[in-house]
Amino acid sequence: MIAITGSAGKTTTKEMIASILRRKYRTFKTAGNQNLPGFILRQKRRISPAHRVLVLEYGMSEAGHIRHSCRIIRPNIGVITTVGTAHIGNFGGSIYRLARAKSELIRGMHPYGRLFLNADNPNSRLLHTRGFKGSIYTIGIHRPAHFRARNIRYGARGMSFTVRLGQRWHHFYIPALGKHNIYNALFAIAVSYKLGVPPRAIRQGLLTYQKPVRRLVVYRLRRHVKVIDDSFSSNPQAAKAAIDVLTTIGKGRRIAVMGSMLELGRFSRRGHRIVGAHAARRRVSYLLTYGPATPHMRAAAIQTGLPRSRALHFYNRIALHRYLSRIVTPYSTVLVKGSYKMNMHKTVAFLRWRG
């Protein structure tokens, strides 16, 4: 029984793990991102004795949600992808309180189970691992870890990398972009390998996992224009990762269209400023912001060096789309991101309709 939580990457990690394990075991997985306790209870009724492996996503919007899910189905394998700023507004803007809520998975899982953590995420050290008597494994890219990715390469539609398993280095490929997806894949590799899945099956599972909708989906339009649809959700960590993808694969104009990030509470101003400064440092060609909190993002981008004429805020979507029609030229790459309730998928639809 595998439970996955974290501020980002839960659904993708769940899909990757399930895609691998179903090659060896009869596997049940969480449907979509139905990850709150009420959904877990409903899904429990669909689990049969024939299922050998459960791959479950445990989400939360407040303290107690993960504890409740663990009482419904107690996992013996836990994955905490990252401790970031998603929903931090529901925890008084405190990363410590948020980490304590994520730690409900550690306290609620089997005490002698297996726990997988992100060594590169500095907030992992805030998790309450004291008293956990099981095995802890780490994944990472930059810091030493039990499962560490090397030789990362971007391709046109995905990324390749190598990981040492046992005494040998093995090559893997994922049909997704973004270094954060390497972390998701590392969790899938680590869990699967510890469950006895051979590297060849892991490799095949990563090639065929079900990619979540509206999460870094790349559309190739006429005139060599690319649109990166990452409009499903947003938080500062995820927004920075999406900007990194934009500036890595974009060869012409690199246009970031950023909607407000919700549920940040007192962290909202700072979170939006962090993203704006990051966009400027990554040298986006244009930063177009939309929504009530994003003027802070624009202001930070200008202060960090992005010219004022290329950092614009829009109060209505029609004006935003009109401006996009002017600046999207051949070979442009456009990133569209924002929280779910900002409906940024409408901007993706406009760009695709415009062609």
- Render each residue's pLDDT in the chain as its tens digit; 355 residues: 999 999 999 999 999 999 999 999 999 999 888 999 999 999 999 999 999 999 999 999 899 999 999 999 999 999 999 998 888 888 888 999 999 999 999 999 999 999 999 999 999 999 999 989 999 999 999 999 999 999 999 988 899 999 999 999 999 999 999 999 999 999 999 999 999 999 999 999 999 999 888 999 999 999 999 999 999 999 999 999 999 999 999 999 999 999 999 989 889 999 999 999 999 999 999 999 999 999 999 999 999 999 999 999 999 999 999 999 999 999 999 999 999 999 999 999 999 998 7
Q: Are 239 and 337 in contact (CB under 8 A)?
A: yes
- What the block records as the tokens of 273 is 């400023």
Q: How far apart are CA 22 and CA 18, in angstroms?
A: 6
2-207 and 217-354 agree in CATH topology: no
Instruction: Tell me how many degrees the CA angle 196-183-120 measures, rounded to the nearest 5.
Output: 110
Query: For 194, phi and psi rounded to 5 degrees?
Result: -70, -20
CA quadruple 101, 103, 105, 108: dihedral positive or negative? negative
At the topology level of CATH, where does 217-354 sit? Answer: Protein-Tyrosine Phosphatase; Chain A (3.90.190)
Give the whole-angstrom CA distance, residue 107 versus residue 67: 8
Among residues 147, 136, 74, 144, the alpha carbon closest in space to that of 104 is found at 74
Domain ranges of the chain: 2-207, 217-354
CATH architecture of the domain with range 2-207: 3-Layer(aba) Sandwich (3.40)
Output phi, psi for 158, to 5 deg. Answer: -170, -165
Strands (E), 92-195: 114-118, 135-140, 147-154, 159-165, 168-174
CA atoms within 13 A on the CB side of 312: 16
Could you give the angle at the alpha carbon of 67 between the alpha carbons of 62 and 73, nearest 5°? 130
Q: 131 exposed, middle or buried (CB, 10 Å; 0-12, 13-18, 19+)?
A: exposed
Q: Which two tokens stand for residue 309?
A: 């004429």
pLDDT, tens only, 185-239: 999 999 999 999 999 999 999 999 998 889 999 999 999 999 999 999 999 999 9
